[in-house]
Structure formats: C-alpha cells, structure tokens
Structure 1
Amino acid sequence: MRSFSYVSAPDVAAAVRAIGSEPGAKFIGGGTNLVDLMREGIERPETVVDITALPLAEIEEAAGGGVRIGALVRNSGLAAHPLIRTRYPMLSQAVLTGASAQLRNMATVGGNLLQRTRCVYFYDGAAACNKREPGSGCDAIGGFTRNHGILGVSDDCVATHPSDMCVALAALDATVEVQSVRGVRRVPLADLHLLPGRTPHIETTLAADELITAVELPASAVAATSRYRKVRDRASYAFALVSVAAALNVRDGVVTEVRLALGGVAAKPWRAHEAERILVGAPATEDSFRRAAAAELAAATALPHNAFKIELAQRTIVSTLRQLLAEGGAA
C-alpha cells in the first residue's frame, strides 16, 4: 500500500471542504471495501478523509411515514432496526445476506452504496480491465464469466454490482442525499449507479467531491409484504448469482402493486420495470408471474458460462412472488 495523508473531519462541512481541496482524496467510513482496494493498488488516494465522527449514524422516522437512514449507520444496525424490519423487511433480509457478521458490524450504508465490483479480472492486476484501467480492454469477455452480467452489459465491461442492500433500495424507490460545498441534492437510487457503456470506470453519477449523507425511504404500504431472495454458491459470504427483491399486493385475485429488482445480473441494481408493468392489473397466478419474468429477461445477453442465469433469474422471480402471495400478499 502506498503512503497517503490522513484528515479527520469533525463535521459535514469540514468533510466536503477537505475532499474538495485535497486532490485525489477519498472518504473513509467503515473501510471494508476501500482498504482492500488500497492494499491491491487499485485505489491510490493521496488523502483519506475520515468521516466516522460525523453525526450521520441515526435511523429516524420521516414525515409522511418514510424513514431516513444516516450514511454512517452500520449494516448490522440497519438490519436490526424495528422500523426497517417491520416496514421494509426486504431491506433487512438483504443486508443480512451480505458479507459476514463482522463485516456488517463495520460496513456503513454510504459505503455499501459505493462499493466496487468483485469481478476477479478487476482485482487481477495482470488482467485487462476497463474499470481499473480505461481503454485496456476486458479480459472477462472471453474468460470465465459464471458470475458476470446478463443485463445492460457492453463490449467494454460485463461486471456486476456486488451489493445486496442496493437491490432492495432500488425496489423501494429510495433516494440518496448527497452534499458538497455547492449544497445538498437528492438522487433517486435508480439514477445513482451507471451501466458500463463505453465508460465502465465511471460507476456513479456522483461528483468526486460529493459526500453521501443519508438514504431516504418513502412510505410504502406494499413494502410491508416484501422479501429478498439470494441465490449463491454457498450459504454465507458469497455474492449473488441472482437475487430478487420483491414486494406484492393483491386484491380480489389481481395484482394491484408490485416492486421488483434484481441483483447479480448487471453493473447496477436492476429495477424490473417491464415485469412490474405486466404484473399490475394481471391475475396473481403462476402464469402471470412466469410471463412477467420472461419479459424482463428477454433482453438478456448470455456469455458462455452464465447463460444459466437467464432461467435462474426467471425462476427466482416466480418463486419469490409465489412465496409472497402465500405469505399474505392478498388484501
């Protein structure tokens, strides 16, 4: 690891001033991803700005029944909080499927939003990777691609986003609050992360000097009947092959509301808008679930080793919706 300068920020204003005045600076909270990347030589900040002293570690009920989650809330605290467990169970479940208990005790909500891909070619300094070195190529294409993307991929990158939490947040229509010396702005979670296109090294819409301060969840009656299902190679400390965050409301046998997002399939949490469109107003039946899942995956692009993900994603959508219907999705 190369040497770097260290700044401890006493408040948000000082943090955003420091990040703007120090070239090549990075914020550090839990450090569970950044420190690994620094050890690997992938991230090389000249300065790290420590934000752990900032007052951003609270979960509060917001006006109108929503919830505001501070960026420094630890993942374990988020999963255990009564407001999250009762109003947004898919989010609690998603967090508990991620990493290990030790990492969840350190990792922060803001850091989880910005964690980088776990693509093995990204971490391999001998491999070509456009995320790590723009313009160098993508050795994943033509390589071993079992864990790589099938939706929104490009000729320059097929990596997937690793977060479980973000998949649930995408389904819940979360908004991310960010702050810089220019003021505060709010970014819909759906617009925070970018698909690779020709610039896979540009992963979010945040400016380099912007600090995530909170995540806001809107009030949502349908979210109370929700579930996160993660399909992976082993029961713990494994990233998703496919995951589904789903919420469902059914009245008189007809789907009235549904929320669906997928993980493990794209460079960002994938909101399943086409499946949602087909389901709303349709009978809450196995056939409807299958038609919606197939429509969502119709645009998938398979690589030699991950074609199985297309059917796996469809099956996981159907089984998750079926389970929600059995658990009380009907009103």
Structure 2
Amino acid sequence: MTLDDPAGTIDTQDMENIFGCVCDLNGVLRGKRIPTEQLDKVLEGTVRMPLSICGLDIWGEDIEGSVMVFETGDADGVCVPTGRGVVPISWTRKPTALIPLWMNEESGAPFLGDPRRALANVVDRYKSHGLTPVVATELEFYLIDPTDDTPAPPCSPVTGKRLTSDGALCLDELEHFDHFLNDVYDACRVQGIPADSAISENGAGQFEVNMRHLPDPLRAADDALLFKRLVRGIARKHGFAATFMAKPYGDRAGSGFHVHFSLVDQDGVNLFDNGGDDGTPMMLHAVAGLLETIQENALTFAPHENSFRRLLPGAHAPSNVAWGYENRT
C-alpha cells in the first residue's frame, strides 16, 4: 500500500465489512459500517453523513445552539476519501479496515466545520508563504483494568499482580507488557504510522509513544488519530482498556499530548535553527505568539473539564504561561 494509492495493495476479499469514518471536533472517528461490495462507493466519494457529526461534544451529543443542527435541517454532507487509502484493522474478530474521509458540502465545496478541513486551511496559509511545518507528536495513555466500575491499574501479564507504584522509564514494565506493545507496533507498521520510541511513564500502567517527524501536518494529525484508535482496539484484544484522557486518576500523573514542530522553507532550511542553542529570531517570534495567545487557545489545548484537572502546579503540566530551553516544568 502506498500513501497515494487509495485502494493500495490491501486484499479486501476476506473482509465482509469496512468502516467509512470522519473525524469530529474531539478527535473521535464517526462513520458507517459498510459491506465490502460497496467499497467503490466509498472510494468514489458518494457516502453521505450529517454535517453535524463533525461538531458533536465529547459525549457524542449535539452541542446546544449549534447552527449545524436545527437551523440547517441537520443536512447531509458528502464524504470523500482523504487519500490515506484502505487502513487495515487487526484487532477485530474478523478482518476489516477503515477508510478515512472528510466532508464536502452538497455543492462540492470543502465543509469548513470539518476539523481536518480547518487544519488544511492553516497548512495552505503556510504554503502561500513558501513554508512547511515539520511535525511530530508524543502521545501518553493509560492501560486500565476494565473489570471494575472505577478505573484501576492493570495487572501485570507476567506476575498477575496489579501495578501499584509509578514506573517512570521502568524497563520491567515495558517488558511485562511487551505482547501488547509488540501488537501496537505491528499494527502501526501495517497502517503506515511512524511510531518511534516507547517508554513507561510516571503513572502505573501509563505509557508514551513518540512519532517520527513528518513534513506534513495533516499526515501527522491523521497518524495521531489512528494511533489512538489502534491502541484502544489492541488493548481490548489483550483484556485491557486504554484511555488518553487528561486525568483518569486524581492521585496519579496526567496524560499529555505533545506536539513538536519546526518550519522549513522551500529549500528545506530549518528557519528556527541558527546553528546554536538560542534559535533564530523567527523562532523567538513564534514562541512569543504562543505566549500571547495561549490563554485564548486554552479551549483548544484543554477542551474539557477533565483537561483542567491535569493543570495543577507541581504536576509537570502547563499551569503557567511560560517557556524555557529544555524545561519540563
């Protein structure tokens, strides 16, 4: 499968169904289960879904007062492939796959309420200046025991005992959960997700997986979205649940989502790098812009009530508007 070949080389003959999915405002994939006989219909961009599903809240409900619902008759949009192609899914009982889609209006114009369309507009603005953002992400998540009504750390597959202590960069924890992690990396290779290093994080059953840098913000965002779904699916396969929520435990470390980025020009020159430790004036202007707008952007960086439970002083979380070189606090 190549990134530019919609159907790729994926054999869908053994698949009974596929999923056509769009991404909503909270990074949740929403869509339809479609018989594989209708694969061409999906790839041709004739699947329809309500435009309003791009703007649901974290509970999957319509946002009160949303103009995408009653004021417009909750109209359908046209779902067209993003170009990612057929993405195999390895954790379901039968072979299946999903096809990432994004929304057009009935007229064929891009639907600007689709968050992927919003990101594409930002990328186009960079391109108009001859610039390309180079992006990498780090995703933190917890494995939890799903057998109780309240979240609890998982039991070690090796010892059978529940994890009770924090394990920052603990090799034993990585080894105890190596079957799960091996399946995660295998699925990433199949889906074309550039997973890099993994560590055991501060919390019991908490892990972090880094992605490699890409000169394609849309691709990097797609990878992060698919990775989150992949981890949750493989966790279920191993008898766990996985959560990327900011603060699943009140008394344990929260989970962050880190984004690294730089800017390169048309010649591939990193415009933030002056060859030394200080960075270029453009980098400093970029940092200043982040500092100036960080409070207004809290709605994006911390969109839910649970997000703010993580933002505590002394918790390795961004509770102050500040910056520094090699500074995690």
TM-score (norm 2): 0.29
Determine which structure has the larger helix proportion and give its number. 1
TM-score (norm 1): 0.28
Structure of greater Rg = 2
- Considering Cα pairs closer than 8 Å and 6+ residues apart, tell me whether 1 or 2 has the greater RCO: 1
